[in-house]
Amino acid sequence: MKKSVILLALFPCILLSLMMGCGLREKASEDNEVIASVDGSTVTLSEYKAAFEKLKSQLPKGDSLDPEGVKTLKMNLLNQLIEKKILMTESAKLGITVSEAEINDHINKIVGEYPDSDTFNSRMKEENIDIPSWKKEIEYQIMLDKLVRTVAGSDVTVTPEEIKKYYDDHLDQYNYPTRVRALQIMLETKEQAQTILDEINAGADFSELANTYSISPDSEKGGDLGFFSEDEMPPSFSVVFNMKPGELSEVVRSEYGFHLFKIIDRREAKMLSLEEARPEIEERLSRLKSEEKYGAWFEQIRKNKKIEVNPSVLEKIKM
C-alpha cells in the first residue's frame, strides 16, 4: 500500500497555513531552533535541513522552481515531518514496536533483489545513501504498516456484489495483452554488440555478459527487463514479440544504443474471467476500505493535536 501518498493527503497544507501566526520560542543554537511543535514534540531546524537536502537530491536534475513552488515544497515537507511525529507518538501509545530482526529481514529482501551484496553496496554509495538513516526509515515504514493494520483492524469485508461491480466497471484492466519477459544487453556500438552476440552463440552466459558489459541500468539484474507488453516499450523493441522463449535476437538498433535480447518467458493475450480476477479485486477493495478507515482515524487524532509552526525559522531554508 502506498501509505506516503495517503498520509500526505490527510494532512493538507492549509492547516499549517492557518497556524502560521502561532509563535515558538527560538533556542540559542540555530540548528536546535524549533521549526514546529506537535504537543511538545519538536521538529528542529537541523532535522528539517537533513530532510530537505534529501528531498532536493531526489528532484530531477536541471529542474527549477519558482518562489511559490519552493514555498509549497517546503510546506509539504514540513507537513510530512509533523505527520511523522504524530504517528510515532500514537504508535508508542498503542504499544507498537519494531524488532531488529524485522528490520534485517526487510533489508535482506531488498539486498536479495541485487545480483550480490557488492552490487548493492555500490548502488548505495552511488546514491549517497546513509545506511543508518536508511535503516531508521525502514523501521518507520514497518511501524507504519503495523499501525495501519492495528487501526484498520481485521473486520474489513468485501461482498461478492462489490467485487462484480468493480470487475464490470474496470474490464479494461483485465484484458491483458501479450507480454514477454526478456533479458537485454545494451552497448554503444554495433561492433561491440556483434562481438557479444558471437560469445553467446559460442556458449557464454547471457546474464553474466549483461552484468559485465551492458550499459543499461538493468545490467545489475543480469539484463532482466521483467514482463512487458508491446505498448510499454519503444517500437524498436517490437522484435521480441515475434520470438519464442529461449530464442536470441540479432543486433537491434534503437535511439538508446545497440541491443541483444533473449526471451525467457511469454504470456499470450488473455481476458481474465471474474473468478480469475476475484482475488486481486478483493485485495484491492479491502485495502481501499482499510485506507478509508485509517484516514478517518488519523483525521480525528489530528484534530486533537496542538500544532505550532515558527515561520521565521522555516524562511531560513533556502533552495
Same domain? For 108 and 184 the reply is no
Has residue 193 been placed in a domain?
Answer: yes
Taking the C-alpha atoms of residue 268 and residue 78, their distance in angstroms, rounded to an integer, is 48
Q: Which residue has the cell 490527510?
A: 10
Band (pLDDT 50/70/90 cuts) for residue 50 is: confident
pLDDT of 23 > 80? The answer is no
Same domain? For 191 and 225 the reply is yes
Average pLDDT over residues 4-20: 38
Structural domain total, the chain: 2
Band (pLDDT 50/70/90 cuts) for residue 316 is: confident
- Burial label, 266 (beta-carbon count in 10 A; 0-12, 13-18, 19+): middle
Same domain? For 202 and 146 the reply is no
pLDDT tens profile 165-193: 999 999 999 998 999 999 999 999 999 99
Asked if 214 and 184 touch (Cβ cutoff 8 Å), the reply is yes
Same domain? For 130 and 205 the reply is no
What's the pLDDT score for residue 160? 96
Has residue 273 been placed in a domain?
Answer: no
Point out the least confidently predicted range of 104-118, 197-211, 221-235, 243-257: 104-118
Same domain? For 148 and 292 the reply is yes
Taking the C-alpha atoms of residue 42 and residue 59, their distance in angstroms, rounded to an integer, is 26
Has residue 275 been placed in a domain?
Answer: no
Has residue 161 been placed in a domain?
Answer: no
Same domain? For 126 and 197 the reply is no
**CATH label of the domain that carries residue 253:** 3.10.50.40
Same domain? For 148 and 288 the reply is yes
Taking the C-alpha atoms of residue 274 and residue 175, their distance in angstroms, rounded to an integer, is 11
Has residue 169 been placed in a domain?
Answer: no
Range of the domain at 137: 3-155+284-314
**CATH label of the domain that carries residue 301:** 1.10.4030.10
Has residue 251 been placed in a domain?
Answer: yes
pTM of the model: 0.57
Same domain? For 34 and 148 the reply is yes
Q: What percent of the chain has pLDDT over 90?
A: 54
Taking the C-alpha atoms of residue 27 and residue 24, their distance in angstroms, rounded to an integer, is 9
Has residue 29 been placed in a domain?
Answer: yes
Same domain? For 15 and 136 the reply is yes
